[in-house]
Chain A
Amino acid sequence: MDRRDFLKTSLAAGSALALGACADGSRSHDGTLATRVHPKSGDRVSLLGFGNIDELDQPSFNQLVDYALEHGVNYFDTRPGQSEEATAAALLRHPREQYFIATRFPRQDGNQSLKEGQEMLDRSLSLFRTDHIDYLVLEELDSPEAFQARFLDNGLLKWLLEQRESGRIRNLGFSFHGPKEAFDGLMALHERWDFVQIQLNYLDWKHASLVASQPGLRLADAEYLYEELVRRDIPVIAMEPLLGGRLAQLPQGPAMRLKSRAPERSTASWAYRFCGSFPRVLTIVSGMPYLEQLQDDIQSLSDFRPLSEKELAFLEETARQILLFPIIPCTDCQYCMPCPYGLDIPGIFAHHNRCINEDNIPQDAMSPEYRKARRNYLVSYEREIPGRRQAGYCIGCGECAIHCPQGINIPVQMRKIDNYTEKLRKNV
């Protein structure tokens, strides 16, 4: 052992010790993370999948990936771009057989040609320095028309199926969030998928249309999609278990309701255990940019027992209560960004939603709480969203709305928030 090797090993040991110590200090992991077996490929996949994280510095990224691997997470989901590079850099420090790579074919403006698709796969393969991608997700495949245009007309699907044959892609699937008819239409076009990724959580289970809260947009409930997939024997990958954090930051009433049923567990743990309760869910992918979240989520799915009928009914009742709050269903996915006019769209929604959760939405100027709530709303708005990024600067061009997977009519919501803040400001 030369000096460099010595330093490397001792540093690695030191950091492992430090990490272990902090894990023990807060909340120790009892038992092991649950796994599920893919019926066709036989992959033993961890029930918790490491979701895509955007814009995180490499050292923090490495720390999360190391911690996840060490605690049994072996499914790493990413998408082309900066996040794929960061994931590759972190994972290449570990042996290839320890983890499954999932990456995506994102929806783009203008459909990909066959050649562009081929280049995209080659780029992902070379980035991970490997000869196979374990799970390839055709992202946001929300209608038969989109499928036709993006993958059938240009021969891309045929090529992808050949790649699956030759083993360069081990599992091919798509992610879906749309109406029932669109799903049935997609399945009519092609059924031999190795998995389908759907938005699964205890709000979307029975209330997908209410969650999206846009009149006319009738999204398929997760229950329907799950049953359909089970019927076709296709494994399900759950995405948005927390609805972009909404189920971790609940209004106080529902939050206390969950807490009183399980004081030692986090509110987020209910969301993970809900997803895990369905046996055909292969893995639950969630972007966890903070170590404490990762720890908690691993804990939620360790020594895992599915929720009982009673607990599921309790959660369904909680879902109904949550839906009474007029939250804007933004999941902070950032697909709408950047706004050409400089607005911080997810930031504005996050602020508005937080004020709803904390009951800081003053309505009645005569109520005794009005002045305090008004001040809280306006002060936090100014502090979090600098002037030129506020809702008032939306010109309604609609560039953002076409990218929103939740179907939020962003210009209309911006106008509502602008009118609302204007009303508050006026009542000095």
Chain B
Amino acid sequence: MMIGALALALPMEALAQKAEGGLVPIHIREQTRRNLPLVPAGSLSVDNFITRCTACGLCISKCPENVLRPSTSLASLLQPTMSFERGWCRPECTLCSEVCPTGAITRVTPEQKTAIRIGHAVWMKDFCLPYSEGTDCGNCARHCPGAAIKMVRAGDLEFTGKGPADPMIRVPLIDENRCIGCGACEHYCPSEPMAAIYIEGHPRQNEH
């Protein structure tokens, strides 16, 4: 929240002396801590993935979006972990499943992949710009390849907790059923220091 406030304070200050150009600093996002682990489509389940993966690193070297990287945790050292700070898992890309030699990631076609739910998006509303900065955003909905997110006016909704101050501002509604966990929303979320929408993994991958 501190950094969020700072990011808000910076442009105001810059606008006061009006546009000397320049760039606001960007904070490199830390890897999201997920309650449930996330594994690539085709892995069938986390158990299958962990037992079969030999940490050869072929999938990591192939991943064009840098979604896969070697794990640093002791339990799964050097096995790939997934995260969306640098890119997101494109539905049409199946490179990791093509190179995996052990069946940790079984072969999937792009058509199959678009139906495999490796996780689902979770909304962290306190970080979401309509709440934290009172601005419209909608970056998650705009980038969702499965149209699983809709932006809806806050005034039309019934919140259990506190809603945004402005009833005309729009907030994301996630259709978990259509979400396959590709991570585009998490990747493109502008919220700092962490994404206001992120992917929770599915220990056993299921299909549409």
A interface residues, Cβ below 8 angstroms from B: 54-55, 81-82, 106-109, 334-342, 344, 386-389, 392-397, 399, 403, 415, 422, 425-426, 428
Known: A342-B26, A387-B86. 8 other contacts (CB 8 A): A335-B19, A337-B21, A338-B23, A339-B23, A388-B26, A389-B23, A393-B188, A394-B139
Task: Given A109-B15, A334-B19, A395-B190, check contact A340 B24 (CB 8 Å).
Answer: yes
Given A338-B10, A403-B19, is A389 in contact with B26 using a C-beta cutoff of 8 Å?
yes
Secondary structure at the A interface, as helix, strand, loop or mixed, is loop
Question: B161 interface residue, CB < 8 Å from A?
Answer: no
Query: 7 tightest A-B contacts by CB?
Result: A334-B21, A340-B11, A395-B137, A335-B19, A337-B21, A388-B26, A338-B24
A387 to B88, CA, bound (A): 12
Binary interface encoding of chain B residues 6-27 relative to chain A, with 1 for a CB under 8 A from any of its CBs, else 0 = 0110110011111111111110
Cα A415 to Cα B93 with chains together (Å): 23
Beyond A395-B137, A396-B136, is A107–B18 a contact (Cβ under 8 Å)?
yes
- Which residues does chain A contribute within 8 Å of B64, judged by CB atoms? 428
How far, in angstroms, from A107 to B10 measured CA to CA in the complex?
19
Are B143 and A399 interface neighbours, CB within 8 A? no
A10 to B131, CA, bound (A): 65
Q: Which residues of chain B are near A335, meaning CB under 8 Å?
A: 18-19, 21
Q: Report B101 CB to chain A, min CB distance, Å.
A: 22
Contacts across chains A and B counted by CB atoms under 8 Å: 87
Cβ-neighbour of A55 out of B17, B19, B21, B143 (below 8 A): B21
A339 and B191 CA atoms in complex are apart in Å by 14
Contact B26 A337 (CB under 8 A): no
- List B residues 1-60 near A (Cβ within 8 Å): 7-8, 10-11, 14-26
Q: Within the complex, which residue of B7, B92, B136 is in contact with A340, where a contact is CB–CB below 8 Å?
A: B7
Size band of the B side of the interface?
20 to 34
**Contact B11–A399 (Cβ < 8 Å):** yes
Residue B96 at the chain A interface, CB threshold 8 Å: no
Within the complex, what minimum Cβ distance (angstroms) separates B122 from chain A?
20
- B24 CB to closest chain A CB, in angstroms? 5
Inter-subunit contact B188/A392 (CB<8 Å): yes
Closest to B93 in A: A428
With an 8 A cutoff between CB atoms, is B129 at the interface?
yes
Instruction: Say yes or no for B138: interface residue by CB 8 A criterion.
Output: yes
A415 vs B139: C-alpha distance when bound (angstroms)? 10
Question: What would 20 A/B residue contacts be, using CB atoms closer than 8 Å?
Answer: A81-B20, A82-B20, A106-B18, A108-B18, A334-B22, A335-B19, A338-B10, A338-B14, A340-B24, A341-B190, A386-B26, A393-B139, A393-B190, A395-B137, A395-B190, A396-B137, A396-B138, A397-B136, A403-B19, A428-B90
Query: Which of chain A's residues have a CB closer than 8 A to the CB of B142?
Result: 415
CB–CB A426/B90 < 8 A: yes
Closest B-chain residue to A334, C-beta based?
A: B21
- Establish whether residues B24 and A395, one from each chain, have CB atoms under 8 Å apart when the complex forms: no
Task: Please name all residues of chain A whose beta carbon is closer than 8 Å to the beta carbon of B26 when the two chains form the complex.
Answer: 342, 386, 388-389
CA of A428 to CA of B94, assembled, Å = 11
Q: Which residue of A lies closest to B110 (CB)?
A: A428
How far, in Å, is B50 (CB) from chain A's closest CB? Answer: 28
B135 sits at the interface (CB 8 A): yes
Using Cβ atoms and an 8 Å threshold, which residues of chain A touch B90?
Answer: 425-426, 428
- The distance in angstroms between the C-alpha atoms of A299 and B135, with both chains bound, is 51
Q: In the complex, what residue of chain B is closest to A422 when comparing beta carbons? A: B143
Question: Chain B, 116-157, contact with A by CB distance < 8 Å: what is the 0/1 string?
Answer: 000000000000010000011111001100000000000000
Q: Which residues of B contact A399 (CB under 8 A)?
A: 11, 15
Cα(A106)–Cα(B138), bound, Å: 34
When distances are taken between beta carbons in the complex, the residues of chain B under 8 Å from A109 are 15-16, 18
A109 to B19 Cα, complex, angstroms: 10
Least distance between A170 CB and chain B CB atoms (Å)? 26
Least CB separation from A80: chain B residue: B17
Q: State the Cβ distance, A334 to closest chain B Cβ, in Å.
A: 3
Within 8 A of A (CB), among B154-186: none
Chain A residues with Cβ below 8 Å from B7 are 340-341
Give CA–CA (A425, B93) in the complex, Å. 10
Find out whether the CB atom of A338 lies under 8 angstroms from the CB atom of B22.
yes
